[in-house]
Structure 1
Amino acid sequence: MKLVDSHAHIYSEEFKEDQAAAVAKAREAGVEKIYMPNIDHTSIDAMLETEASFPGQCIPMMGLHPTYVKKDFERELYLVEEWLNKRAFAAVGECGIDLYWDKTFLQQQQEALKVQLELAKRHKLPIVLHTRDSFDETYELVAAAQDGTLRGIFHCFSGTPEQAAKVKELNFLMGIGGVATFKNGGLDKVLPHVALEDLVLETDCPYLAPVPHRGKRNEPAYIPLVLKRVAELMQKPEEEVATITTQNALNLFKL
């Protein structure tokens, strides 16, 4: 089965000692492409070095992560724009709103998201959204910016069936990861009611490892565990889930 990890921080410090082994292990597990979301200016070098080490397999995005939006966020966004003007990226992201850790910079997060939504439209790129404890706030801004051309992913989707319907109405996809395997993850109430055409698979590694690795470092090689659980919850053959979610990701990220 050909698989895609649509969201992986494989360039992070957690993979410093064994990155090549982790990428090889992912390939052995059928994961042919790993899409890498950017965080801020400090992650760009490591991300692009990873791309250079694994061309065609590890593919970068460019954006500013909401938890790294501070008072100097405009300077960070100038850098994002500079890079988008300079070379090709698979998407704008990871961006959005995060109200889990800190609400201090909500206004700045909203402004940063608006800017990145416009950048996605200008560069004709999909946008990858982070919505932790902030689905409604993020949705509102994306819906306001949607002019029929915006596409993207609500990364790490763990919302309600009603929120899943809203994502579909926006013509966006839902990124499904390790949370699907958690006992109280909530996706058992959502996935039976959505279509495979609306999903992509992801790990968000090194975070949110699926059962039975929960609490340990996550990695792209664990995508088959997410696939297995999605297939169970949707009562579909694993091959069908693999084929459709992989094609969804490739169609979205076509460079």
Structure 2
Amino acid sequence: MIFTDTHTHLNSEQFDEDRNEMIQRALNAGVKRLFVPSVDSEYTQSMFDVAEAFPENIHLMMGVHPTHIKENYLDELKTAREWLETGKFVAVGEIGIDLYWDDTYITQQKEAFQTQVQWAKELGLPINIHCRNAFEEVFEILEKEKSDKLFGIFHCFTGTLEDAKRAIGYNLKLGIGGVATFKNGKIDKFLAEIPLENIVLETDAPYLAPTPFRGKRNESMYTVNVAEKLATIYNKPLTEIAEITTQNSKEVFGV
């Protein structure tokens, strides 16, 4: 039984004390496929380091995270594009719009998001979307860029059933993580109405640990806890959840 964590920040400073042990715990739990998103150029080397330690299991994305779109965003985009052209990455991400913390750079966030979506279409790569307090802004750009070449994952999906259907309409899988296990997470109330073929698992470790670990550091091994919740929601055996969501991840990433 193989699980896939489609979004985990394995290079986070929160894992500096026990990174290899944490990754090994995930592998031992059956989480054999791990996908690491990019944040900005300062984190690129640490991404390479963690992937080099577990080359059979870890795959990397490249992009500029919306909360890291600042005055130097054009330089960051230039660097990300250069890395993408090396062919070492399986997706453009994580990219998107985040208006939760600060909307100072909303214009630049929109420009950066649309630019990176266009790169993904050009390079034949999936996108990995970060969206916080910005569903309409994200959907506006997806509508502009909608095409057969647009596909990927709507990471950490926390929207409504209508939002879910809109995202799927843009050929996106929904990245489901710890929020599905929260009492006030809400998405567990309608997920069963979304065909499992549109779902992938994720943790967003070290953030958003699932129940019963909520409030603590998240780890990729907790992908299994998310899968167990989905097994309950969909009334399917855990083996089937693992198989279908892993197959979905293969369709997206091509690995």
- Structure 2 unpaired stretches of 5+: none
Aligned-residue Cα RMSD (Å) equals: 0.9
Q: CA deviation at 1:250?
A: 1.4
Percent of pairs identical after alignment?
45
- Contact map agreement 1:192 1:234 (CA 8 A) in 2: yes
Q: CA deviation at 1:88?
A: 2.0
Q: CA deviation at 1:87?
A: 3.0
- Greater displacement, 73-82 / 187-196: 187-196
Describe the superposition over 1:78-125 as per-residue Cα deviations: whole angstroms up to 9, x where unpaired.
000000112320100000000111111110000000110011011100
2:87 — aligned with what?
Answer: 87
1:185 — aligned with what?
Answer: 185
The 2-side partners of 1:16 and 1:129 are apart by 26
The 1-side partners of 2:231 and 2:23 are apart by 24
The 1-side partners of 2:149 and 2:118 are apart by 11
After TM superposition, the score normalised by the length of structure 1 is 0.98
Q: CA deviation at 1:189?
A: 2.0
The 2-side partners of 1:187 and 1:233 are apart by 10
- Matching of residue 153 in structure 1 with residue 153 in structure 2: yes
- Tell me the amino acid that sits aligned with residue 178 of structure 1: G
Describe the superposition over 1:130-163 as per-residue Cα deviations: whole angstroms up to 9, x where unpaired.
0111111101101210121111111000111111
The 2-side partners of 1:164 and 1:235 are apart by 20
1:202 — aligned with what?
Answer: 202
Please state whether the residue corresponding to 1:56 is helix, strand or coil.
coil
- Tell me the amino acid that sits aligned with residue 240 of structure 1: E
- Matching of residue 61 in structure 1 with residue 61 in structure 2: yes
- Contact map agreement 1:207 1:217 (CA 8 A) in 2: yes
- Greater displacement, 81-90 / 208-217: 81-90
Report the count of equivalent residues.
255
After TM superposition, the score normalised by the length of structure 2 is 0.98
1:14 — aligned with what?
Answer: 14
- Tell me the amino acid that sits aligned with residue 165 of structure 1: K
The 2-side partners of 1:2 and 1:65 are apart by 29
Please state whether the residue corresponding to 1:250 is helix, strand or coil.
helix
Describe the superposition over 1:58-96 as per-residue Cα deviations: whole angstroms up to 9, x where unpaired.
111000000000121011000000001123201000000
Q: CA deviation at 1:254?
A: 1.2
Moved over 3 A (4+): none
The 2-side partners of 1:115 and 1:122 are apart by 11
The 1-side partners of 2:189 and 2:131 are apart by 19
Describe the superposition over 1:200-219 as per-residue Cα deviations: whole angstroms up to 9, x where unpaired.
00000000000111111101
- Contact map agreement 1:161 1:189 (CA 8 A) in 2: no
